[in-house]
Chain A
Amino acid sequence: MRLVSGSGGLSRRTLLKAGSAAAGMGALGALGGLARPALASSVAATITFAYFGDPKQATSMRESLLPLVKKVDQNADLKVVGYNGTDWNDFFAKILTQIAAGAPPDIVGVATEGVQLMAGKDLAVPLDDYVKRDMAELKEMFADVDPILIEGLMYDGHLFELPVNFNAGNMFYSTKLFKQAGLDRPADNWTMDDFQSYAKKIAAIPDVNAFDWIVRLWGSWTCFMYANGGNLLEEQRFDGGQWLWDAAYPGNASVKSRKGGWKWGAPTANSAPTVEALQLMIDLRKQGLAPSPDVGGGGTLQGLFASNRIGMTIGGGFWAGGLHNAGMTPDSFDVQYFPKWKEQKHLFGVVGNAILKSSKNQDLAWEVVKQLSAADAFDLQFPGNATTPVRRSLMTPERYKTTGPEHWSVFYDTLTKFENTTPIPAPPYYNALANALNRRTTEAIASGDAKSALDGLQKDLEAASKT
């Protein structure tokens, strides 16, 4: 049933579709995005799409997305399944269990956390052949998406997902508490000293935590680690990927440094800058500038921030919708780049859709994946600024008019303004890494000894990387 096989062979259906697509090229421009003329397959197929989120939203999401599926195949149906959890590792555990149980989805929404897990375990289909074949159609999307996001979805020179949304670790702050503390918006190039000075002033307000954070890989003390020039794993790049950069970004100078995806090397969890970063978090707590952090996804943190009990915290574009839903007005909070320590280096995670190798309808799944990355599909999937679109064209004042923040452009500019913005270190053994990181971070906070905890993390990661 596959249109593009591993060896690149084309089926009869491929040719039929290609022919139909070619015939309809004239209409593509008018349709915009990644639209294709609807085809009617002889066999009704159902595509199962799994996402990380509230299962209760599955029905409404299906209703929103079904027309997109019908666009590519009038006889096709869509099943949407949501899996919730504290963090991505919970989601991946459930997806892997589904695969083991013989009931895998066709398409999975996977963040950076799981890209290499899926690719490394040979669970996801490399999209290279599909992308090469449909490059003319996809160029519009690539032109709209910064290459750093595309590289974040590559592994060993292959592209495994088409991107949909991303979030970079920025600093959110309460404008109300800043005003109360007599503080102005920090400068774009503010420093770690500035951050601590701000925190001390906010801490003077009764019943307010100057800064708060959560224990996880994305947007945790790991932001401080990046800003201090550290990482949990050696930063390397896979060779390859030129096939994509040359075809998708011709003449774009910014792709010269891009390769075949991030390769996470030997553990460096107890390196000096990493220890120093975690020790700073312990010291912030000791100084009364931050409380003990919770482990998990950040819902509680968002609630506390929305009730003006936190002055500053790390968040991404998804916070805009979350804070708005929690009752914050657009002018009651704002966002700034993460402060500079040794460098002003940011982390980010990107989410795309992968096709599982076990899918019996890979060709149709690919068509649906393309639809899910179309500009007009973003708000169907993530209404109300629940995350940041990967497409620049969707980053408009109009989008953030209702939710805020005022300086929404920080979200995307984090990718383009800083050359050193790097994805979170998520190797194929991400689940083990996440568990170990959470454990050792809470151990450090409880014991007050960052070095000892990170020595433990180093051993954990060395063991996990061998499995």
Chain B
Amino acid sequence: MRGEALFGYLMILPALVIVMLFTAGPIVASIGLSFYQWDVISPPSFAGLSNYEQLLSDQTVLHSFWVTLGLAVSIVVLEILVGLGLALLVQQRRSNVARGTFRTIFYLPLLASASSVAIVMGYMFDQKFGVINYYLGLLGIPNIPWLTSDFGATATIVIIAVWQQVGFAFVLFIAALSSVPKDVLEAAQIDGAGPLRTFFAVKLPMISPTVLFISVVGMIGAMQLFDQPYVMTKGGPGYTTTTTVLLIYQTAFQNLQFGYGSAISVMLLVVLIGLTALQFLGARKLVFYQ
């Protein structure tokens, strides 16, 4: 038995080393660095809690958290609604070929790199020469400043993030809907439940663990939104689309305040843990486990 346990530990050792080196290590280093002032070039100097004191009164940082939270909630809610809607529509297709084709189409954007997508979308949404405004123009709609107005920039980033990420929710919902027991659905039908009633009273509760999973994973991902605002809006107009991770990048790598940037990243970690805990707390009442 002891030899078996040793073998088990040996098997997980490589993974453990990698996690310690590339995940736990940087996290611990960031936490440590958040108590220092460091511009990369000079030796770091101990700063105590001053980075955290500065952070709590820094309106730019606090604003970035609200911006990120707003974007993340919009993205996750839309991802769930659109992903579920598409999954329901595709599941109704009787043809296997049609189902397979739609699955591929909706999942494909997820495989593209977020930066590449942001570059292409930046051109498409450009106010002056973008194809989006071109087609809207054909309908008599004047040019919309997608990337240079507060609402336009926010909406564009949400649309693009949802477009790219919805495939993930879609695939999970397809799997969850397929696993709803047929006998339960038939029982609902016999009891006279229509499609809407069947969905809200039977399917939705049955797939609620998947909804929870998507919302938790989606929220963690969306709270770290970087590529789209970095490429398309640079966080603007003003600070409208300055997400926390973008601010961390600019604070640390461009303004050379690595200690302060680390403090913001630690704060983000705390917020993420809090948000995830809240979601699990809510799940106790809302999620149905068979």
Contact = CB atoms under 8 A, between A and B. Distances in A.
Contacts, number: 91
Interface in B138-164: 143, 145, 147-150
Interface in A410-446: 429, 431-432, 435, 438-440, 442-443, 445-446
Given A304-B128, A431-B255, A442-B148, A99 B40 contact: yes
A435 B254 contact: yes
Given A431-B254, A445-B148, A121 B239 contact: no
A295 B238 contact: no
Nearest to B260: A467
B30 interface: no
B257 A439 contact: no
A204 interface: no
A442 B127 contact: no
Interface stretch (B71-79, B180-188, B229-237): B229-237
Given A209-B128, A446-B148, A438 B236 contact: yes
Contact of B234 (A92, A291, A295, A309): A295
B41 interface: yes
Contacts of A92: 254
A443 B41 contact: no
Given A100-B40, A291-B127, A291-B128, A446 B257 contact: no
Interface string A86-104: 1001001100110110000
A104 to B, nearest CB: 10
Contacts of B250: 435
B7 interface: no
B227 interface: no
Interface residues of A, number: 38
Interface in B213-253: 233-240, 242, 250, 253
Nearest to A358: B41
Contact of B235 (A97, A99, A439): A439
Given A121-B39, A292-B145, A304-B128, A443 B236 contact: yes
Contacts of B288: none
Given A100-B40, A121-B41, A439-B242, A432 B255 contact: yes
Contacts of A292: 127, 145, 148-149
Contacts of B143: 291
A439 B239 contact: yes
Contacts of A212: 128
A122 B41 contact: yes
Nearest to B152: A446
Given A99-B41, A291-B127, A300-B126, A439 B255 contact: no
A240 interface: no
Contact of A96 (B40, B147, B149, B236): B40
B41 to A, nearest CB: 5
A295 B231 CA distance: 10
Interface string B7-45: 000000000000000000000000000000001110000
Given A291-B127, A294-B126, A446 B240 contact: yes
B135 interface: no
Nearest to A303: B129
A25 interface: no
Interface string A446-467: 1100000100100000001001
Contact of A445 (B40, B237, B255, B257): B237
A304 B129 contact: yes
Contacts of A96: 40-41, 253, 256
Contacts of A293: 148
B152 to A, nearest CB: 9
Interface string A354-393: 0000000000000000000000000000000000000000
Contacts of A453: 238
Interface range for B: 20 to 34
B277 to A, nearest CB: 33
A86 B127 CA distance: 19
Contacts of A304: 128-129
A447 B238 contact: yes
A461 to B, nearest CB: 12
Contacts of B242: 439
Given A292-B148, A442-B236, A464 B40 contact: no
A66 interface: no
Contacts of A99: 40-41
B239 A432 contact: no
A438 B255 CA distance: 14
A292 B253 CA distance: 28
Given A442-B236, A446-B237, A432 B40 contact: no
Nearest to B231: A86
Contacts of B40: 96-97, 99-100
A171 B140 CA distance: 33
Nearest to A100: B40
Nearest to A443: B238
A446 B233 CA distance: 12
Given A97-B253, A446-B149, A467-B255, A439 B127 contact: no
Interface string A288-313: 00011111100010001000010000
Contacts of A435: 250, 254-255
A42 to B, nearest CB: 32
| Those 10 A-B pairs whose CB atoms lie nearest each other, nearest first | A443-B238, A442-B236, A446-B237, A292-B148, A442-B237, A100-B40, A431-B254, A432-B255, A292-B145, A295-B234
Interface of B: 39-41, 126-129, 143, 145, 147-150, 233-240, 242, 250, 253-257
Interface of A: 86, 89, 92-93, 96-97, 99-100, 121-123, 209, 212, 291-296, 300, 304, 309, 429, 431-432, 435, 438-440, 442-443, 445-447, 453, 456, 464, 467
Given A97-B40, A294-B126, A442-B236, 15 more contacts: A93-B253, A121-B39, A121-B41, A291-B128, A294-B147, A435-B254, A435-B255, A439-B234, A439-B239, A445-B148, A446-B238, A447-B237, A464-B255, A467-B255, A467-B257
9 contacts: A86-B234, A93-B254, A97-B253, A99-B41, A292-B127, A292-B148, A295-B236, A439-B236, A446-B149
